[in-house]
Amino acid sequence: MFQLTQIYNYKKGEVILKQGMKTNHLVYLTKGIVKFYYEENNKGLIITIDKAPTLLGLANILNEDINVVSIIAIEDCTGCLIDMKKFKLMLIKERNMMLNIMSESTKMFRKSIFNFMSLAHKQSNGRIADILIYLSENIYESTSFTLTISRQELAEFAGCSKELIIHTLQNFSTEGIINVNSKKIEILDISRLHNISKIG
């Protein structure tokens, strides 16, 4: 088993792994929240958002060590570097650990796929409802939370404009579904939010 000796602190907005760059390490995130960000033709999309503890860069194990997306700190983060070559050798020897890593990779893949399905098949109300539910259940683990992502990042996650995000959040607030106070969001009627998600 390897030792996690190289500990790094990442400031909010700092790139942890950069899209298209070759890397020789994984990052075990021990603190903080990150976004998986894909950029092409000067347009960006947040693929998914994840929080510690998690292992970053798993896609590189089967992708010739090239970062498929950028992973960027949404808030101040702490992570430990893991040598890619040593990690691959360990996986060859430890079958159970390989299965666990494959399981974690599948979970990350599913998060990304669900977001793409939402983007492809739902109107803005449904997509934004999906995001609020995802953040509540998977990131902040509460129906009342303070956003550590900006309205612009919400827009990049939902695949719409910042103005539409602001307008939709205001509508949800007016309808009594959520309460919005600057970055503080409280989900008042989770069942209605789920219903909006289903209707799309």
Q: Does pLDDT of 125 surpass 90?
A: yes
The rounded distance, in Å, linking the Cα atoms of 32 and 13 is 12
Q: How far apart are CA 22 and CA 18, in angstroms?
A: 8
pLDDT confidence tier of residue 108, bands split at 50, 70 and 90: low
More confident residue, 186 or 104: 186
CB 151 within 8 A of CB 165: yes
Provide the 8-state DSSP code for 160. Answer: S
CATH of 122-199, one of 4.10.910.10, 1.10.10.10, 3.40.50.300, 3.20.20.70: 1.10.10.10
pLDDT (0 to 100) of residue 60: 72
At 168, the amino acid letter reads T
Average pLDDT over residues 4-17: 89
Which alpha helices (H) appear in the chain, and where do they start and end? Answer: 84-93, 95-121, 124-134, 151-158, 162-174, 190-199
Q: At residue 85, does pLDDT exceed 90?
A: no
* CA nearest neighbour of 70 among 53, 52, 47, 51: 47
CA nearest 111: which of 141, 80, 135?
A: 135
- In the chain, which residues fall in CATH 2.60.120.10? 7-119
Q: Is the model's pLDDT at 119 over the cut of 90?
A: no
Tokens 């790139």, residue located: 15
Give the pLDDT score at 184.
97
Nearest in space to 50 (alpha carbons), one of 91, 79, 22 = 79
CATH 3.10.580.10 fits 7-119, yes or no: no
At 42-80, the pLDDT tens digits run 888 999 999 999 889 887 766 667 888 999 999 999 999
From the list 197, 158, 183, 169, the residue with the least C-alpha distance to 46 is 158
Q: How confident is the model at residue 170 (pLDDT cuts 50, 70, 90)?
A: very high
pTM value?
A: 0.84
Closest to 172 (Cα-Cα) out of 152, 186, 156: 186
3-class SS string, 65-118: CECCCEEEECCCEEEEEEEHHHHHHHHHHCHHHHHHHHHHHHHHHHHHHHHHHH
Rounded to an integer, the average pLDDT of 150-166 is 93
